[in-house]
């Protein structure tokens, strides 16, 4: 892929016009129940998390308009009530492209304060994205009978607007795109990504969890899925740490970016795969090189 094509894809992804490759999962229904009223929904785009109770429905991320409609049509089968809330983990279109559908169905939208700005900045000319009406700087907790939903911001990582959404009583956490499970991640430097803090974030969140915590991931290798444990967070941490070390060693050895980008896999991470040229190790190296040389 030529650099100009890659940059165009970055802009289109932020606007929601480009979909990440649709990976196939063996499932009879896009809805999967986890525990304590919490579940996940996988169709097209970043995984939706959900919680239902007689008091209401909490959704995490909205995918695109069509899967958002299918989610709303089906979630009532798991319960619900008058309170309807949607959290956005970050601004990318495959996680916010269905926001308008949720808003039309009386969901209040909540996100970190940087997310609406990033959505608007990534919108194509003439588009007016549906953004959060409620924002927070560090964290926001919502108490419902039987569950506390806690959104926490840990600083720049995949973007500068990522949050982890904790369902505290169920002991389930939605990571958004902070974990591409055994996939090469999208490192959105235009959106404020910082790999160094991403590594710290994953260590911090893993430390806040326990061996029973279930994590929901934005995307995943079909062999590993879109849910897992804190060990999966640490596997992503180890990959990102190795990525920075490999790139810094190359810079110190006088290698050019083009030379470094000739590496298409790390033998230390054989399970990490590239679903496309856009999500690949060379593109990760390019982002790491930019962070290490440009800040």
Residue that the structure tokens 């239902």 belong to: 52
250-295 pLDDT per residue, tens: 999 999 999 999 999 999 999 999 988 899 999 999 999 999 999 8
Q: Which domains occur in the chain, in start order?
A: 3-294 (3.60.15.10)
Q: What is the DSSP letter of 67?
A: H
26 pLDDT exceeds 80?
Answer: no
Q: What percent of the chain has pLDDT over 70?
A: 91
Greatest alpha-carbon pair distance for the chain in Å reads 61
203-255 pLDDT per residue, tens: 999 999 999 999 999 999 999 999 999 999 999 999 999 999 999 999 999 99
33-53 pLDDT per residue, tens: 999 999 999 999 999 999 999
Provide the residue count of the chain.
Answer: 295
Q: How many CB atoms lie within 10 A of CB 221?
A: 18
63-103 pLDDT per residue, tens: 999 999 999 999 999 999 999 999 999 999 999 999 999 99
DSSP labels for 116-133?
A: HHHHHHHSPTT------S
116-144 pLDDT per residue, tens: 999 999 888 778 999 999 999 999 999 99
Rounded CA-CA distance 213/228 in Å is 8
Residue that the structure tokens 């996939």 belong to: 183
133-178 pLDDT per residue, tens: 999 999 999 999 889 999 999 999 999 999 999 999 999 999 999 9
Q: What is the token pair recorded at 94?
A: 């495959």
Give me the pLDDT at residue 22, please.
Answer: 46
Q: What is the DSSP letter of 171?
A: T
Rounded CA-CA distance 15/122 in Å is 5
Rounded CA-CA distance 147/202 in Å is 24
């Amino acid at each position: 892929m030529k650099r100009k094509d890659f940059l165009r894809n970055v802009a289109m992804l932020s606007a929601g016009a480009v979909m990440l490759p649709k990976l196939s999962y063996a499932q009879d229904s896009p809805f999967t129940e986890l525990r304590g009223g919490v579940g996940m929904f996988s169709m097209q785009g970043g995984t939706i998390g959900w919680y239902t109770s007689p008091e209401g429905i909490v959704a995490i991320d909205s995918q695109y308009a069509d899967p958002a409609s299918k989610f709303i049509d089906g979630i009532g089968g798991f319960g619900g009530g008058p309170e309807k809330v949607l959290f956005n983990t970050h601004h990318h279109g495959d996680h916010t492209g269905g926001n308008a559908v949720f808003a039309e169905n009386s969901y209040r939208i909540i996100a970190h304060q940087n997310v609406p700005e990033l959505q608007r900045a990534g919108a194509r000319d003439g588009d007016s994205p549906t953004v959060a009406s409620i924002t927070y700087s560090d964290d926001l907790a919502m108490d419902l009978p039987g569950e506390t939903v806690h959104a926490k911001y840990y600083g720049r990582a995949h973007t500068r607007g990522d949050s982890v959404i904790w369902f505290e009583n169920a002991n389930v956490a939605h990571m958004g795109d902070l974990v591409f499970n055994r996939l090469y991640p999208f490192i959105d430097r235009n959106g404020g990504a910082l790999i160094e803090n991403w590594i710290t974030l994953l260590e911090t969140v893993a430390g806040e969890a326990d061996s029973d915590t279930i994590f929901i991931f934005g995307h995943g290798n079909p062999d590993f899925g879109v849910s897992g444990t804190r060990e999966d967070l640490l596997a992503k941490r180890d990959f990102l740490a190795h990525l920075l070390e490999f790139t810094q060693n190359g810079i110190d050895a006088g290698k050019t970016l083009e030379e470094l980008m000739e590496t298409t896999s790390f033998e230390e991470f054989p399970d990490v795969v590239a679903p496309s040229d856009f999500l690949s190790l060379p593109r990760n190296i390019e982002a790491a090189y930019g962070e290490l040389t440009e800040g």
